[in-house]
Structure 1
Amino acid sequence: MSLRRRIRLPHLLLITALSGALLGPPAAVGAPSRTVPLRVATYNIHAGAGMDNAFDPDRTAAGLRALQADVIGLQEVDRHWGARSQWRDLAGELAERLGMYVYFAPIYSLDPAGPGGPRPEFGVAVLSRYRIVSAENHEITRLSTQDPNPSPAPAPGFGEVVVRVKGQPVHVYVTHLDYRPDPAVRVAQVADTRRIMAEDRGPKILLGDFNAEPGAPELAPLWKELTDADPGAPTFPAQDPVKRIDYVAVSKAAQVRGVWVPESVASDHRAVVADLVLRGR
């Protein structure tokens, strides 16, 4: 029996939306067509700061809007985290500005600074024009940045949502892999990712900052089941990028029709955008 616990829609209202309602217009639901187009993107938003390290959520929102994507995976997302992002809920604010649904999956969720205050949280998020019908924050191996003497251990922050795209359920995962030069933690994280994704069926899309380039040995197992939507361009740093560490990867039930890296300094990373076609059932 699987031990996975999936959050169903009524509970999603409490953790992903402002004012107790999911953000964005209701999506149309109909019979799935034979092929379904979907534009997806991944973007490490650097907690709302650009290459100039200035916090500017207006600039972040404008950069996301320009992608014109149906589903966006975000990394380095603050929710009441600290002064660098003015203690604001970036996940909720960006969703509201773009008129999209949102699911936030914290990596860190700390005790409030005072009684009744919000929990400072940092993690990943999914924005979607399509209704999110279920969501889960999975644990993968991490080396905590909040512990002065960390050891690799399971921790949350691997987000999964199911969105229904014109009647077809699609699994979308968003991740942020370990940044350290030693690949050992990323090796474990890739193994965790493959195990989690293997439990699902149908179209699967993995979005994230992998902190490793495509030829890195620790990423090789991913390409056994997934196709790297290679834009042929680097993504980091945003100003004069020299390496590609941000990815859109898809299962065999999705075909990549086009992929590109828009020029922007709204973050220290550039986004990756991919036009997909989902194969009908």
Structure 2
Amino acid sequence: MVLGRGAWLIVGAVIAAFMLLVGPSAPLGAPSAGSRPVEAVRDVVPNRVMTWNICNPCEVSNVDRAADIAAYAPQVIGMQEACVRDVEMIRDYLENLHGLVYHVKYGTVLQSWGRCGGVPWNPGGFGQAILSAAPMTDRVSVEYPDGGSEDRGYMAVTTTVGGRSVRVFNTHLAHRRQEEFRASQVGVLAKQVARYDRAIVLGDFNAVPDAPELSKMWALATDIDPECRPARIGDCETTTDWHSKFDYVFLRGIAPLKHRVQASAYSDHHMLRADVDPR
């Protein structure tokens, strides 16, 4: 049957109306919001944790950030310089593209349009985030009394690592050359860490291992790298593009197994991952 011109106009109108109702398709290369893998591509490593300052503002793709994380599939990831919108997208890509399902909690300390976009009257939240394959409870988010040149803070949750309940902290301390602020911030953080017999402290401390302001952390916990100590700074692997160790996985009541520092093209900080034994 051959349709006349009037009939084709009616068909076109119906198709246009359908498209308006359904909405545009997802951009090329982006996963559909409703798509889910039939089964997980892989499982997380249950005793692996990771800390990563994901860099902000940086013109990088959250698809690429998610791929870097998925390559190591940690049970828990602590992110710093994290915008809520970026973390939401990273979590979605981890699930839709890699079959890795995470819960998320935020420890935002700024509402920053310049950092995180959005609209001026509803800017994006900026600060820390924790992703965990297991549910998280008892979240706290604390802004340090004085962040230095930019508001800073820490967050903490209780979750499962290696089959055990563990208190996990995630922090970002004051900028470099602001030692006095970092010393005060470490005092606040260490007081809370000391309450727990078993804890993991992730974060960007913006200080090298022998910096005096880290002394209270070293008194409570050890670094994932058993060779890294304040008195033996030469044995500590660097974690930044400027060849300094600023990023830590501090362990309290938990044994280190192995670790790796992995550079990323998508941040000026390297990913620091650690396998631990919480027993």
Q: Which moved more, 1:158-167 or 1:241-250?
A: 158-167
Which amino acid is the alignment partner of residue 251 of structure 2? V
The yes-or-no answer on 1:66 pairing with 2:71 is yes
The yes-or-no answer on 1:234 pairing with 2:230 is no
CA shift in 2, pair 1:166/1:255, >3 Å: closer
CA shift in 2, pair 1:214/1:275, >3 Å: same
Q: Distance in 2 between matches of 1:131 and 1:101?
A: 6
> Across the two proteins, how many residue pairs are aligned to each other?
219
Q: CA deviation at 1:113?
A: 4.1
Other-structure match for 1:123: 127
The yes-or-no answer on 1:142 pairing with 2:146 is yes
Structure 1 unaligned regions, length at least 5: 1-17, 20-24, 26-35, 80-88, 147-154
Given candidates 204, 207, 216, the residue that maps to 2:202 is 207
Deviation per CA, 1:103-138, whole angstroms, max 9, x where unpaired? 111111369846xx6442110100111111221102
Runs of 4+ in 1 over 6 A off after TM superposition: none
The yes-or-no answer on 1:55 pairing with 2:60 is yes
Deviation per CA, 1:115-165, whole angstroms, max 9, x where unpaired? xx644211010011111122110232333546xxxxxxxx66311011034
Q: Alignment RMSD, CA only? A: 2.6
1:92 is paired with a residue of what secondary structure? Answer: helix
Given candidates 206, 215, 223, the residue that maps to 1:220 is 215
1:142 is paired with a residue of what secondary structure? Answer: coil
Other-structure match for 2:136: 132
Q: Distance in 2 between matches of 1:191 and 1:74?
A: 21
Q: Which has the higher Rg, Structure 1 or Structure 2?
A: 2
The yes-or-no answer on 1:174 pairing with 2:175 is no
Other-structure match for 1:32: none
Other-structure match for 1:40: 49
Identity of aligned residues (%): 30
Deviation per CA, 1:36-57, whole angstroms, max 9, x where unpaired? 96111100001373xxxx3211
Other-structure match for 1:254: 254
Structure 2 unaligned regions, length at least 5: 1-32, 35-39, 95-100, 229-235
The normalised TM-score by structure 1 is 0.71
Do the aligned partners of 1:77 and 1:124 also contact (CA within 8 Å) in 2?
A: yes
Q: Distance in 2 between matches of 1:72 and 1:223?
A: 22
CA shift in 2, pair 1:215/1:95, >3 Å: same
Other-structure match for 2:107: 105
